[in-house]
Amino acid sequence: MTTEVPRVTTIRENADSSSANLCRFCGAGLQRTFVDLGMSPLCETYPSAAEFNSGETYYPLHVYVCERCWLVQLQEYESAEKIFTDYAYFSSFSDSWLKHCQKYCNAMKARFDLGKQSFVVEVASNDGYLLQYFVRQEIPVLGIEPAANVARVAVEKGVPSPVRFFGAEFARELVGQGRSADLVLGNNVLAQVPDLNDFVEGLKILLKPEGVITLEFPHLLRLIELNEFDTIYHEHFSYFSLINTLNLMEAHGLRVFDVEELKSHGGSLRVYACRVESQTHAPQPNVQKVLADERAAKLDRVEGYEGFAKQCQEAKLALVEFLLGAKRAGKSVAGYGAPGKSATLLHYCGVGKDLIEYTVDRSPYKQGRFLPGNHIPIHHPDRIRQTRPDYVVILPWNLKDEIMGQLQFIREWGGRFVVPIPNLLVD
């Protein structure tokens, strides 16, 4: 593959990651701040009223960019074990996401000729939301899922799901049992991996000689362009461009042969990789296209990362000014949704229940609980009709069209929508 981007395909030895602030991939020292969003609690914890007296731990959201390999990253302030072993997020709760997955399974079956003789492995397979579609086509699968409560649901769907964290060691165990894979996939897991090198090495070990890896993750280019700073949270240790992904893959003897740009999660990439020595997977032109877009945005230089902190601050000032103005004018303000990203947004902006009185969410798990840190109460969506707020702040901005459609009734009392990202919108 030809590209003008200087490649970093070596990992520095003797990097002591336990003490210094070093790049999780290449081991270089991290000096350059991408953005410092202050302190925030873990975003997927929703305390109940009974837990108010036990206190909550806040961690820094200080994001660095590695000037050697361009990996954007947070330190691992809280261990992945603690964050992910009793995870509250069940993938199957979103209809549009399930459709996306079903489409993916059909496309992979056709493109790579998968059948009864094939073996598909998903890393961080959650509740079997995706692999169930391969199971229905009688393609043998294995899910690997560290959260026991979630894996149990997958097993009920006929998706074998050992409760494990994935890495080189587990990959060797599987290969030792003769279970090499034709397709290994990871959706929205790469960002959550503390030991990136061990994880990617594991992917390669598990792969048959002509097998394929697909990975989906939010695209750093979109995060910057669309000011999606609230997608930065402690569960996401790393933020990927195609430039830094190529570095990572090549360091482990893998070759990226295709990439697709997806609309999911505010703009994602789906990367296709195979072993370097594979002869069957020809490089597709979209790889060069996305690389060219990233170079145009200067993601191969410091300049591409310099303006982001200012952008975040502008969004904060606009939201806080609006909320203070609404409060002074005696207006009532409610939120809609309690997504993980609302923790980053509201803590960075210093917004509590004095400015947003409550929020609502369709997930029964969250109703009756509170947002972490600021303790904004989470109610059933009916609360909006009952209290008729003047403004509804849409916290999952990526679903704003869907939510505004569902909540058109707030117009009956002159209610208006507020969308805080990318720029404040009051509609």
Pairing mode, if any, of strands 207-218 and 181-187?
parallel
Helices assigned H by DSSP within 307-425 = 308-328, 341-349, 382-387, 400-406
CA–CA dist 142, 115 (Å, integer): 14
User: Measured from the CB of residue 26, what is the shortest distance to Zn ion in angstroms?
Assistant: 3
Is 12 near Zn ion (CB under 5 A)?
no
CA atoms of 197 and 221, how far apart (whole Å)? 23
Q: How far is the CB of 32 from Zn ion (least distance, A)?
A: 11
φ, ψ for residue 346 (rounded to 5)? -70, -35
Q: Which is nearer to Zn ion, 21 or 406 (CB)?
A: 21
Looking at beta carbons, which pairs linking 79-85 to residues 24 or more positions away fall under 8 Å?
Answer: 79/194, 80/146, 80/165, 80/192, 80/193, 80/194, 81/146, 81/165, 83/42, 83/44, 83/192, 83/234, 83/235, 84/146, 84/147, 84/192, 84/235, 85/146, 85/147, 85/148
* 74 vs 135, beta carbon nearer Zn ion: 74
List C-alpha distances in Å: 180 to 115, 118, 338, 393, 407.
Answer: 15, 10, 40, 48, 49
* Window 58 to 117, contacts with Zn ion (CB under 5 A): 66, 68-69, 71
Least spacing, CB of residue 28 vs Zn ion, in Å: 5
In the bound state with Zn ion, the residue whose beta carbon lies nearer, of 23 and 153, is: 23
Tell me the closest approach of the beta carbon of residue 66 to Zn ion, in angstroms: 3
**Closer residue to Zn ion (CB): 71 or 378:** 71
The piece of 15-23, 253-261, 270-278, 352-360 that touches Zn ion (CB under 5 A) is: 15-23
CB of 62 to Zn ion, least distance (A): 16
Closer by beta carbon to Zn ion, 28 or else 399: 28
Q: Which of residues 326-355 bind Zn ion (CB under 5 A)?
A: none
25 versus 129: smaller Cβ distance to Zn ion: 25
Instruction: Report, in Å, the least distance between residue 238 CB and Zn ion.
Output: 10
User: Which of residues 22, 23, 83, 395 is near Zn ion by CB under 5 A?
Assistant: 23
Residues making contact with Zn ion (CB under 5 A): 23, 25-26, 28, 66, 68-69, 71
